[in-house]
Structure 1
Amino acid sequence: MDVLSEKKQPVVTFTILRYSLRYRYRAFANMGRWIWQPFQTKGLGFQKLMGSGKSFGLIPDFSTYVFLAVWDTPEAARQFFTSAAWSQYVTGTTETGTLWLQPLRSHGSWDGSDPFPKGQPIAAQDAAKPILVLTRATIRTGALLDFWRYVPQARAHLKKHDSALLFAIGVGEKPVVQQCTISIWNDPKVIEQFAYRQSGHKEIVQRTRTKRWYKEELFARFVVIDSEGFFANILDQTKQKIFTETN
């Protein structure tokens, strides 16, 4: 964590937790426990514990969960990740990994507001580091069938960029209606091409507007400033390819 030692400004963390078969019921119960009683710890602001879906689809993946959080300082996050409260959620995992993120920009709302700190330009020492892209939406009831009909097509377009895509996962707070996609890329130019210019995906984005799929939506980008665990080598360009995976 040397890169974070001098930083006092807010930081965002993204943590993945993968559980063994024996502990999957406990992991699911933890999700329910968190819904009723989110973490209470100094320096923690916005937080979301989310389940995942297989291949970005409707079938839940009970082995994998993610925890997204906004912290006043990196030190507040460090203290929490070594606490007894967090250790209860880590019990039974086969692997975990955390990314430490600096917001670049975001727009839209999540639970009524933009939860992320104001974006900052990428520092010179971080210019070559991967970019995490987050999209989150609450889908209108009347648009659910149309939305889910296009998910396989969107996933197929995403996989066409395996050379630049390091990791991707579909998660959500509530099954079917609240969805979040998180992807990590090693080339910002490819992100722009995929999001706004690639034939097929560009039309899906346009459809979200014309058909008014979303009741609420948010888009955000972050630079990965540090990593650990499952993501330990994601900043090493010679080893990045091991993370090319779409859940």
Structure 2
Amino acid sequence: MDPFLIPSGQCAVLQLFSFKGAISKTWGAYRMFHSRLFTPYFPGLQFIKPLGIGSGHGYRAWPKWEASGFFMVFENAKAAMDFRSREEFGEFLEKSEENYCIFMTPTSSRGSWSSFDSWQISEEKGTSGLICSLTRASLKPEFLYRFWKMVSPISLEQKDYKGLVFSQGIGELPLVEQATFTVWESVEEMEAFARKSFHGEAVREVYRLNGFKEQMFTRFFPWHSEGTWGGKDALAPYLSQKIPPVFSVY
């Protein structure tokens, strides 16, 4: 059997955790809050954000108190794998009721997240055809009500939108620091939602009113997923290979 081929260059990782029971939930919240104490010093780690997880489908202001996660950027896939083998990270896997991880390669980006914009854009497009979109915004306080008033229609419209594979709202702070991560079957279907739906109208309205303090729009192709979220690995039908213990990097 041929070895699993992993893209070279920069590797982004979205990691989600869900905890069950008061003790595990409290532990998860505490460790996530204090994760900044050990993560910045790991070799190859370029960027990390501890995340809260939004409730419902896609866009929701109210968080899932039992869930949390990380968005991370590494120099390469090996650094990402090494990070996940750390004892501290293993504790999250052990104590969580459910966890899900998506490995990705950046293909385009504009804007920044807490001043991070050091993306190493790849010309590779992946073999699955899937495209991931991370839309992140920091809202000005005076626009919070106007923005969240538009959220419910977006969430309802997105739920059954053609080509949507996976969607999860994430963020640093409820209401103020928000991001949405989605996975689509194709670029065309992703762009159709962004431009032709109420979502596109909402984004244009916030831009018109200059309601963002900072924003970032980044695309990736996913090349590996593991674990489950909501009882399933949504990307598994599209990603045929799984990483074995020994792998090669192309």
TM-score, scaled to structure 2: 0.85
Tell me by how many angstroms 1:232 deviates.
5.0
1-structure distance, mates of 2:36, 2:78: 25
Task: Establish whether residue 139 from structure 1 lines up as the match of residue 139 from structure 2.
Answer: yes
Moved beyond 3 Å, runs of 4+: 35-39
On the 8 A contact 2:52/2:171 being kept in 1, the answer is yes
Q: CA RMSD in A?
A: 2.1
Q: In the alignment, is the contact (CA less than 8 A) between 2:10 and 2:106 conserved in 1?
A: no
1-structure distance, mates of 2:104, 2:145? 34
1:228 aligned residue:
226
Unpaired segments ≥5 residues, structure 1: 240-247
Rounded Cα–Cα distance in structure 1 between residues aligned with 2:239 and 2:168: 22
Structure 2 letter corresponding to 1:203:
E
Greater alpha carbon shift after TM alignment, 110-119 vs 207-216: 110-119
Q: Distance in 2 between matches of 1:214 and 1:46?
A: 21
Shift of 1:62: 1.6
Tell me which residue corresponds to 1:41: 42
- Aligned equivalents of 2:25, 2:127: Cα separation in 1: 39
Supply the AA of the counterpart residue of 1:137: A
Offset at residue 146 of structure 1 (A): 0.4
SS of 2:179's equivalent? strand
Q: Please give the alpha-carbon distance, in whole angstroms, between the structure 2 residues aligned to 1:79 and 1:12.
A: 14
**2:202 corresponds to 1:204:** yes
TM-superposition CA deviations, 1:45-97 (whole Å, max 9, x none): 11111011212323220222121111112111111111112123223211212
Tell me which moved more, 32-41 or 219-228.
32-41
The residue type equivalent to 1:2 in the other structure is F
Checking the alignment, whether the CA contact within 8 Å between 2:224 and 2:239 is kept in structure 1 is no
**1:87-130 CA distance string (max 9 Å, x none):** 232232112121110111010111123143224241xxx24332
Gaps of 5+ in 2: 241-250
Aligned to 2:189: 190
Deviations 1:153-200 (A, max 9, x none): 111221131x411111111111221001001111221111110123x2
Task: Determine the C-alpha separation between the residues in 2 that align with 1:111 and 1:238.
Answer: 31
- Structure 1 position 29 matched with structure 2 position 30: yes
Preserved contact between residue 102 and residue 224 of structure 1 (Cα < 8 Å): yes
After superposition, the Cα gap between the structure-2 partners of 1:181 and 1:34, relative to the gap in structure 1 and judged at 3 Å, is same
User: What amino acid sits opposite 2:112 in the alignment?
Assistant: S
The one-letter amino acid of 1:183's match is: T
- Conservation of the 8 A alpha-carbon contact between 1:131 and 1:188: yes
Compared CA separation, residues 238 and 110, structure 1 to 2 (3 A): closer
Alignment-derived partner of residue 95 in structure 1: 98
Match of 1:52 in 2: 53
| Structure 1 residues 177 and 115: CA distance shift in structure 2, 3 A | farther
User: Equivalent residue of 1:17, what SS?
Assistant: strand
| Distance across 2 between alignment mates of 1:151 and 1:172 | 15
Assess if the C-alpha contact under 8 Å between 1:41 and 1:80 holds in 2. Answer: yes
Q: Secondary structure at the match of 1:173?
A: strand
